[in-house]
Amino acid sequence: MIIGSISENKEFEKRISITPEIAKKYVSNGFEVIIENEYGTHLGISDEKYINEGCKLENRENILNKSDILLQLSLPDDKAISLLKENKILIGNFNYTNNKEVITKISSKKISIFSMELLPRITRAQSMDILSSQANLAGYKAVIDSFAIFKKAIPMMMTAAGTISAAKVLVVGAGVAGLQAIATAKRMGAIVYATDVRSASKEQVESLGGKFLVVEGAENLETEGGYAKEASEEFKKKQEELLAETLKKIDVVICTALIPGKTAPKIISEQMIKNMQPGSVIYDLAASQGGNAAYTQANKVVEKNGVLIAGESTILNKLPTSASNLYAKNLFNFVLNLYDKQNKKLNINMDDEIINKTLVK
């Protein structure tokens, strides 16, 4: 059974799907692993490290031809797709909602495609959950980058020359990324507030030392899968009023609110930004889906009324080594769930919720 991976387009994706540590685990479980030359050199991982763990180096065409399972982050390009043979398995983070046409084209070649963002949020799937592992890093890095843009100190400092007040941070969206942002900002000495449409988030926010902004008469807007869903107009109005007042005293805002498969909810309006303090920073992690704030532009920093709005859509490319380590482990656990080790063959059991939900039909 051969597992392969080809290099991604490094202009857009610096993460990799197989690390030397994980390659060793595949080999010890009876797999053969093949990768391209210089697969991980951009992360400081030499070809020799892979060879030492039992990997073989092949050219791109051979990998696409030989691999029983191809592990990627993004969808392969048209040329790569043309080289894929029938009855192969393709696993990655393919954003099925936005790439249905391309994925359907690949599926028509009798290739089984598993898109990892469709993984159900059940206990057994936690070790495979790429959304959580990657969002955790994104929340951490968002705080680090936003504080780098902010032109003041973060913690309270008492000096002979006077006292510097602690920065006030608001985290919009208390999912995995938001909770990590709260924890990171708190560790760095900020006073942290948070808001989320899911009422269950209140306890989690407060356990990390954050102050949860409660909308009066709030409704619980959480799906069975643990994701946020669209709010009613009445709730949105109440949330806007609470946010508008809160933002007047906030120094740094971290936006993380996303609804899977939909445009990001616009939470911070132009008027709210107009009333914020000059020198404040909005760091918008939802930029790739339109952003949570007005004026957000992907991968650009915009200044409006003295407020800096940074739109970020490729934040994991800033932590590619850590992100790759976690992503590769998620994929390894997923592949083992597909593999019948005793009989050394793949077992796509459609009664398994993990397999059923992630297999693109």
187 tagged catalytic: no
Question: What is the second-level CATH architecture of the domain 2-118+319-353?
Answer: 3-Layer(aba) Sandwich (3.40)
pLDDT value at position 104?
85
Burial class, 357, CB count within 10 angstroms (exposed 0-12 / middle 13-18 / buried 19+): middle
Runs of H (alpha helix) within the chain: 20-28, 47-52, 60-66, 78-83, 100-107, 130-149, 176-187, 201-207, 233-247, 270-274, 320-338, 353-358
77 tagged catalytic: no
**Each residue's pLDDT expressed in tens, for the chain with a length of 361 residues:** 999 999 999 999 999 999 999 999 999 999 999 999 999 999 999 999 999 999 999 999 999 999 999 999 999 988 898 898 888 999 999 988 888 888 988 888 889 999 999 999 899 999 999 999 999 999 999 999 999 999 999 999 999 999 999 999 999 999 999 999 999 999 999 999 999 988 889 999 999 999 999 876 555 555 555 555 566 677 778 888 999 999 999 999 999 998 877 889 999 999 999 999 999 999 999 999 999 999 999 999 999 999 999 999 999 999 999 999 999 999 999 999 999 877 778 888 999 999 999 999 7
5 tagged catalytic: no
pLDDT value at position 341?
79
260 and 286 Cβ atoms separated by less than 8 Å: no
* Rounded Cα gap, residues 300 and 286, in angstroms: 13
47 tagged catalytic: no
pLDDT value at position 235?
73
pTM of the model: 0.90
Every domain range in the chain assigned CATH 3.40.50.720: 2-118+319-353, 136-317
pLDDT value at position 350?
93
Q: Class of the 136-317 domain?
A: alpha beta
Which residue out of 68, 107, 227, 269 is catalytically annotated?
227
129 tagged catalytic: yes
3-state secondary structure 170-205: EEECCCHHHHHHHHHHHHCCCEEEEECCCCCHHHHH
Which residue out of 115, 132, 313, 324 is catalytically annotated?
132
pLDDT value at position 237?
81
Among the listed residues 117, 139, 140, the one whose alpha carbon sits nearest the alpha carbon of residue 225: 117
pLDDT value at position 134?
96
Which residue out of 28, 46, 82, 126 is catalytically annotated?
126
